[in-house]
Amino acid sequence: MPIAIKMPALSPTMEEGTLAKWLVKEGDTVSSGDIMAEIETDKATMEFEAVDEGTIVSIEVPEGTEGVKVGAVIAQLAGEDEDASAPAPAPKEEAKAAPAPSPSPAPTPTAAPAPAPAPAHAPKGDRIIASPLAKRIAADKGIDLSGVTGSGPRGRIVKADVEGAQPGAATPAPAAAATAPAAGAATPATVPDFGIPYEATKLNNVRKTIARRLTEAKQTIPHIYLTVDVRLDALLKLRGELNKALEPQGVKLSVNDLLIKALAKALLQVPKCNVSFAGDELRSYSRADVSVAVAAPSGLITPIVVDAGTKSVSAIATEMKELAGKAREGKLQPHEYQGGTASLSNLGMFGIKQFEAVINPPQGMILAVGAGEKRPYVVDDALAVATVMSATGSFDHRAIDGADGAELMQAFKTLVENPLGLVA
């Protein structure tokens, strides 16, 4: 009996995706780990690997199809020792995804109870039904497959079943529940056009996710905003000196790279702001992972500089250049944009003087940075002209008090105005 290949959940927030491109065709033979398709998720375009070995019997969803629900059957695979010409039975639990909407919407994977997975053992004998990839992972991790429940067709144990299992333990519940729609997702409203000529562009998955998450953030998080003016002259001078020293290495620091470092160090100095609100608990982080807003063609995305507080500014510059490039190409992997303990958004390059950014949940704060510009400024009790930047911190008032937020902003200002502390 052919194995149903289903639309995977490639990120925790993914509910549906676009099957951008098939890299295999009917009749092709695939092995575990082969790239089968490119799928556009709510964050990026990602490659979909084969889990089982066999022959592609049929492709159920053509490339370019949008709105394919997680769990929908997208192809059929004849497994090992199976007849690739045998017709595949019609799936009972999931509707086949198609470009045109059906009269009655198909249920999402969380809308109705799923049937209990079949036992891992075959009905006869002691043979355990598992994909070759799952067997290799189990062998490497020392996992006894007899205690693992398979979530694949006919109880087949697949990669996802063994990745999170402990040696000798049963596999945890499938992660499909993570794709449940988040609270606060708004139902699209009908907007009158008032007779004004317009052109409608259908939202991609990234833009839909941005809309949902920002709506959720503003509706559920009480924001408090704190602004400081920061003198940049010393930072700009140090940047010029460092770039001369780093030129042989092919590294060029931007002001943003130094600001990432300053925010990370400030978070470590004021740990009460390196937190997130999690219902009935407050999570305090011992590492400062800074998410940096990058404008990509599909929408805003925030790749993460992990442990930015302890990295050198040259390492941050190199990492940000790579991450920003991947973000603009839609090639970021989930671990490169999921997480972070705080965010930085810089619109200074557009001449924006000051703005207030929306918190990126579940983080507790985001720093909005404006342009550095020549302004009248008091230096040593005398009026002078200095390069000054306005920075505004948005704080989750459930987790961070105003006084603690003010302490963080002061620490950030001090680090930028005395930048040798960024390279010490």
Average pLDDT rounded to a whole number, residues 291-300: 88
397 noted as active-site residue: yes
Residue 216 included in any domain: no
Domain that holds residue 149: 116-176
Please say if the pLDDT value at position 95 is more than 60.
no
Mean pLDDT score of the chain, rounded to an integer? Answer: 82
Structural domain ending residue among the three candidates 80, 112, 144: 112
Three-class SS of the chain: CCEEEECCCCCCCCCEEEEEEECCCCCCEECCCCEEEEEECCCCEEEEECCCCEEEEEECCCCCEEEEECCCEEEEEECCCCCCCCCCCCCCCCCCCCCCCCCCCCCCCCCCCCCCCCCCECCCCCCECECHHHHHHHHHHCCCHHHCCCCCHHHCECHHHHHCCCCCCCCCCCHHHHHCCCCCCCCCCCCCCCCCCCCCCCCCHHHHHHHHHHHHHHHHCCEEEEEEEEECHHHHHHHHHHHHHHHHHCCCCCHHHHHHHHHHHHHHHCHHHCEEEECCEEEECCCCCEEECEEECCEEECCEECCCCCCCHHHHHHHHHHHHHHHHHCCCCHHHHCCCCEEEEECHHHCCCCCCCCCCCCCCEEEEECCCEEEEEEECCEEEEEEEEEEEEEEECCCCCHHHHHHHHHHHHHHHHCHHHHCC
* pLDDT for residue 353: 96
In a domain, 186, yes or no: no
Q: What pLDDT does residue 132 have?
A: 64
- Name every residue whose Cβ is closer than 8 Å to that of residue 267 and which is 6 or more positions away in sequence: 273, 274, 288, 290, 309, 341, 342, 408
* Residue 253 pLDDT: 97
Q: Are residues 285 and 229 in the same domain?
A: yes
Residue 194 in any domain: the answer is no
Per the structure block, which two tokens stand in for 98? 């198609």
Q: Evaluate if residue 393 carries a pLDDT over 70.
A: yes
**Is residue 226 a part of any domain in this protein?**
yes
Alpha carbons within 13 angstroms on the beta-carbon side of residue 297 total: 7
| Tokens (6 digits) for 167 | 């040696």
**Which of 59-68, 183-192, 233-242, 377-386 reaches the highest mean pLDDT?**
233-242
Looking at the domain assignment, is residue 210 inside a domain? Answer: no
Q: What CATH code is carried by the domain that includes residue 408?
A: 3.30.559.10
Pick from 79, 112, 145: which residue ends a domain? 112
State whether 311 and 352 are in the same domain: yes
In this structure, is residue 213 part of a structural domain?
no
Question: In the structure, what pLDDT confidence band is assigned to residue 422 with cuts at 50, 70 and 90?
Answer: very high
Domain shared by 96 and 131, yes or no:
no
pLDDT at residue 250 greater than cutoff 50: yes
Q: Are strands 373-379 and 29-30 parallel, antiparallel or unpaired?
A: unpaired
pLDDT exceeds cutoff 90 at 289:
yes
Residues 287 and 314 in one domain: yes
Which segment, 74-83, 125-134, 330-339, is predicted with the most confidence on average? 330-339
Most confident region among 110-124, 304-318, 323-337 by mean pLDDT: 304-318
> What's the confidence (pLDDT) of residue 298?
77
**Do residues 228 and 379 make contact, with C-beta atoms less than 8 angstroms apart?**
no
Same domain for 77 and 122, yes or no, is no
According to the model, what pLDDT value does residue 189 have? 58
- Note whether 84 and 149 are same-domain residues: no
d(CA 182, CA 13): 8
Closest CA to 157 of 169, 145, 165: 145
For residues 95 and 35, membership in a common domain is answered with yes
Instruction: Report the CATH number at residue 67.
Output: 2.40.50.100
Same domain, 134 and 1: no
Is residue 181 in a domain?
Answer: no
Tell me, yes or no, whether 404 lies in a domain.
Answer: yes
Confidence of residue 141 (pLDDT cuts 50, 70, 90): confident
Calculated CA dihedral for residues 161, 167, 170, 176, nearest 10 degrees:
-30
| Band of residue 165 on the pLDDT scale cut at 50, 70, 90 | confident
- Express each pLDDT in 13-67 by its tens digit: 678 888 888 999 888 888 888 888 988 876 677 888 888 888 888 899 998 888 8
Beta partners for residue 78, in sequence order? 55
**Same domain, residue pair 301 and 257:** yes
Residue 117: the pLDDT is: 45
- Looking at residue 286, its pLDDT comes to 96
Of the chain, the percentage scoring pLDDT greater than 90 comes to: 46
* Judgement on whether residues 21 and 97 belong to the same structural domain of the protein: yes
Average pLDDT, integer, range 398-422: 97
Among residues 121, 223, 335, 397, the one annotated as catalytic is 397
Q: How far apart are CA 271 and CA 342, in angstroms?
A: 12
Same domain membership, residue 365 and residue 240: yes
Tens-place pLDDT, residues 275-286: 999 989 999 999
Confidence check: pLDDT of 244 > 90 = yes
The total of structural domains in the chain comes to: 3
CA distance 2 to 5: 9
Highest-confidence segment of 191-195, 210-214, 332-336, 418-422 = 418-422
Among the residue ranges 7-11, 229-233, 265-269, 350-354, the one predicted with the least confidence is: 7-11
Q: Is the pLDDT of residue 370 over 90?
A: yes
pLDDT band for position 315 (50/70/90)? very high
Q: Is the pLDDT of residue 231 over 90?
A: yes
User: Domain check: are 157 and 61 in the same one?
Assistant: no
Predicted TM-score (pTM) of this structure:
0.62
pLDDT score at 78: 83
